[in-house]
């Protein structure tokens, strides 16, 4: 089964999966906590969620940050995920798009979010370059993912791959190496996890002026 068909299948059950409690949910909370500390009410923010799935995070931002001014967009390569996102959302623009085509977007963004989809991108270095090009001056990439840093992570990720297919989970060291010429890393936060889950890290990356 192709990767797209896998995620099209999971779209029907995605928001009820067990990983919501131990991985996806905690990651969304960490992202929103960061936004709560940094966003200013008097500004308007254009935010893009890459690999947005069914649009959960963008909906939660919309609901939890009332009184803030946002232009919210999401892209995902699964047509079924995007369809469900459109059905459950209002005032958010969703588009079916592979991360490899992300440079074709016409807008630039104050904040780009990428949570748990990065390991599935075939050319991760190029995706990072393209995301940097889409950031406004002073913009941020908020990148969060499971990360293979040791033997325990490798074992846990092996079982994750049984349901999601082929992926490459770069270590913290590898992510920092890939991003150092494009972004200034302002923080790396380890997201609390269950013992049976691989390490999950949240990278706060500010675009370096080109």
Under CATH, which number does the domain 3-33+43-101+108-207 receive?
Answer: 3.40.50.150
Q: What integer is the mean pLDDT of 97-122?
A: 94
Q: Which residue has the higher pLDDT, 81 or 110?
A: 110
Looking at residue 4, its pLDDT comes to 63
Structural domain spans, the chain: 3-33+43-101+108-207
| Tens-place pLDDT, residues 114-146 | 999 999 899 999 999 999 999 999 999 999 998
Spatial contact of 58 and 95, defined as CB atoms under 8 Å apart:
no
Mean pLDDT, rounded, of the chain:
87
Question: If you average pLDDT over residues 78-93, what whole number do you get?
Answer: 93
Q: Among candidates 128, 125, 116, which has minimal Cα distance to 207?
A: 128
* Predicted local confidence at residue 148, as pLDDT: 79
Distance CA 199, CA 204 (A): 16
**What's the pLDDT score for residue 1?**
47
pTM score: 0.88
Burial class of residue 4, CB neighbours in 10 A (0-12, 13-18, 19+): middle
Among the residues of 106-194, which ranges form H helices? Answer: 124-134, 151-164, 172-179
Per-residue pLDDT of 164-190, as tens digits, reads 557 889 999 999 999 999 999 999 999
Confidence (pLDDT) at 199? 82
- Per DSSP, the three-state class of 208 is coil
Question: What pLDDT was estimated at residue 2?
Answer: 58
């Amino acid at each position: 089964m192709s990767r797209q068909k896998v995620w099209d299948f999971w779209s029907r059950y995605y928001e009820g999966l067990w990983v919501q409690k131990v991985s996806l949910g905690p990651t969304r909370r960490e992202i929103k906590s960061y936004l709560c500390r940094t966003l200013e009410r008097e500004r308007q923010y254009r935010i893009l969620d890459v690999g947005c799935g069914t649009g959960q995070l963008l909906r939660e931002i919309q609901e939890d940050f009332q009184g803030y001014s946002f232009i919210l967009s999401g892209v995902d390569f699964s047509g079924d995920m995007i369809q469900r996102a459109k059905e459950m959302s209002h005032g958010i623009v969703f588009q079916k798009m592979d991360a490899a085509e992300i440079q074709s977007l016409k807008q630039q963004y104050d904040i780009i979010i990428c949570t748990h989809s990065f390991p599935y991108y075939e050319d991760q270095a190029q995706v990072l370059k393209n995301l940097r090009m889409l950031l406004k001056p002073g913009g941020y990439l908020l990148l969060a993912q499971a990360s293979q840093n040791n033997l325990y992570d490798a074992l846990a990720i092996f079982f994750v791959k049984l349901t999601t297919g082929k992926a490459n989970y770069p270590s913290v060291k590898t992510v920092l190496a890939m991003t150092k010429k494009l972004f200034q890393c302002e923080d790396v936060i380890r997201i609390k996890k269950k013992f049976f889950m691989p390490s999950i890290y949240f990278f706060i990356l500010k675009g370096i002026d080109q």
